[in-house]
Amino acid sequence: MKKVVRKSLSMLLAGVVCFGGLTACSPSSKGASGTEAKGQEASKEGQVEITFATSWVGVSSSKEWFHNRLEAFNKEYGSEIKVNVEEIAGDQAYVDKMKVLYSSDALPDVIAAGGYNLIDTMQDKFVDLTPYIDEEWKNSIDEKCWEVNSRDGKIYGAPISKQVIGYFYNKDLFKKAGIEKPASTWEEFFQNCDKLKAAGITPLSMDTADSGWVTSLMLGAIVGQTEEGEKFMNTSLPKDYNQEYFVNAVSDIQKMFNEYTSTDAIGGAYENAAGNFFTEQTAIIANGPWMVGDFYDTDKVEEGFADKIGVAAFPGDVMYDAGKIGFNVAAKTEEKRKAAATFVKFMTNEDSQKANVEITGEIPCLKKEVDSKVYPLVQETIHLANTAKRHINDFQSLWFANVVDEVSVEYPLLAQNKITAEEFAKKLTEAAQKNQ
């Protein structure tokens, strides 16, 4: 009898383990994509359920804005549409995750990659939003923002903000070095760097890790100072970097690495570059207005730091001022597509954009001026963009992902003069040409 019980128990256990293993792998498991799925209650009858994967979680500066807008959306559309939020911490992890989901045809219904260009990689899975965009929506958004989200006349992204970037400088340190105003030419810029250096101040915050964001912004701005450079910096997915203006700009970056930046710039990430600027060890950093909030954060900077900071256009009156990739839709059924379009329309409407600029400093992409309470430095950045002579787009939105990665591994060699500017440009060209 004992034997029979033992045998039955063993078989039952084996069955449970086997069944458990199978159900754990089934796609209907919670968080099918392997990410945390934060749904609300179970969907009600007639309610369309859509999934939205986001990196606006954890320490993301957009977290507060997202929760605010999601709550507002649920109030207005909660009875019709249920948004299941899948949280993925970190922009790069988010992009990588989307690529994996794309390759297995399991993209969430709505994607927002924080400015990263996924359209050119995933265009075949993204929904053409043109039929869902009415005249009012279309006319409310700046044309250049639609442009960057469109391919062959079809709209694949709903814009939420513009990419507006200049550089910040420390007025106190400039004064100490005897500099009266930001440079209007690159020649003058380097003269200012010499003055800062002579005063014992490290002029520039730079980095090489990740995409070498701060450094690459400088690079793009130098490239964009001429007409053909400006054109290059507005070209999507360029494949040839062996251009004279590009090589010259790389030479200037090499000079900056050699003479005007801190010892931790090589291999350093954005955080190192920002940390040096916050602690007044460096006088200049290139970055967007979303950084302004940090100037008032006494956990990061000393009281009154924001008053010392000024913002300027890059020499040659160049500003990053371009549309930014917005929300993409990859829903498979018409019902979900409609629901997804309603969701992205809400998340990009005037109220959402107004909240976005107030909370995160992201510049709205609306045609009309938004009446919002923002930091003076943000307003000044917008003004600089509106009056700049040349307007360029940023490398992260335009260049192939592997080129951006190549930049970060080649910068250390360039900075230590192990490769020339020509070789750097050649490496980027080779990386770009690996793409279709």
Distance CA 44, CA 226 (A): 58
- CA R_g for the chain: 25
Instruction: Examine residue 198 and tell whether it contacts another protein (CB under 8 A).
Output: no
Site for another protein in 265-304 (CB under 8 A): 266-267
**Closest CB 209 distance from another protein, rounded Å:** 7
DSSP assigned state of 47: P
Angle at 124 (CA atoms; ends 216, 333), nearest 5 degrees: 125
Q: Given the rule CB under 8 A, which of 50-58, 155-163, 379-387, 414-422 is the region that contacts another protein?
A: 414-422
Residue number, 277 or 400, with CB nearest to another protein: 400
Using the contact rule CB under 8 A, the part of the chain among 34-42, 54-62, 74-82, 409-417 near another protein is 409-417
Is 412 a binder of another protein (CB under 8 A)? yes
Q: Where are the beta strands (DSSP E) in 288-379?
A: 309-312, 318-323, 327-329
Contacts with another protein, 232-271, as mask; x by CB under 8 A: ------------------------------xxx-xx----
Dihedral class, residue 100 (left if φ above 0, else alpha if ψ from -120 to 50, else beta): alpha
**22, 42, 180, 371: which one binds another protein (CB under 8 A):** 22
Number of shown-chain residues binding another protein (CB under 8 A): 40
Choose between 29 and 191: whose C-beta lies nearer to another protein.
29
User: Considering only residues 11, 12, 198, 237, which one is a binding residue for another protein as defined by CB under 8 A?
Assistant: 11
Identity of residue 119? I
Both tokens of 288, joined, read 């967007």
Nearest alpha-carbon partner for 399 in 165, 245, 220: 220
Among 121, 236, 243, 379, the residue binding another protein under the rule CB under 8 A is 121
Interface with another protein includes 401 (CB under 8 A)?
Answer: yes
Q: Residues 267, 406, 101, CA angle at the centre, nearest 5°?
A: 105
> Percent helix, strand, coil in the chain (nearest 5)?
50, 15, 35
Does residue 201 touch another protein according to CB under 8 A?
no
Contact flag: residue 328 with another protein (CB under 8 A)? no
Sorted by sequence, the CB contacts under 8 Å of residue 89 that are 6+ apart come out as: 55, 57, 58, 60
99 near another protein (CB under 8 A):
yes
Q: Who contacts 307 (Cβ-Cβ below 8 Å, separation ≥6)?
A: none
Residue 21 near another protein by CB under 8 A: yes
State in angstroms the smallest separation of the CB of 103 from another protein: 6
CB of residue 267 vs another protein: minimum separation in angstroms?
4
Q: Which residues of 316-345 are buried (b: 16+ CB within 10 A; e: fewer)?
A: bbbbbbbbbbbbbbbbeeeebbbbbbbbbb
Q: How many residues does the chain have?
A: 436
Minimum distance, C-beta of residue 129 to another protein, in the bound complex (Å): 19
Residue with smaller CB distance to another protein, 42 or 59: 59
For residue 335, CA distances in Å to 79, 98, 330, 340 come to 15, 22, 12, 9
In the bound complex, what is the minimum distance in angstroms from residue 247's beta carbon to another protein?
18
Q: For residue 25, state whether it binds another protein (rule: CB under 8 A).
A: yes
> What residues line the site for another protein (CB under 8 A)?
10-11, 14, 17-18, 21-22, 25, 96, 99-100, 102-103, 121-124, 208-209, 262-264, 266-267, 400-402, 404-405, 408-410, 412-413, 416, 418-419, 434-436
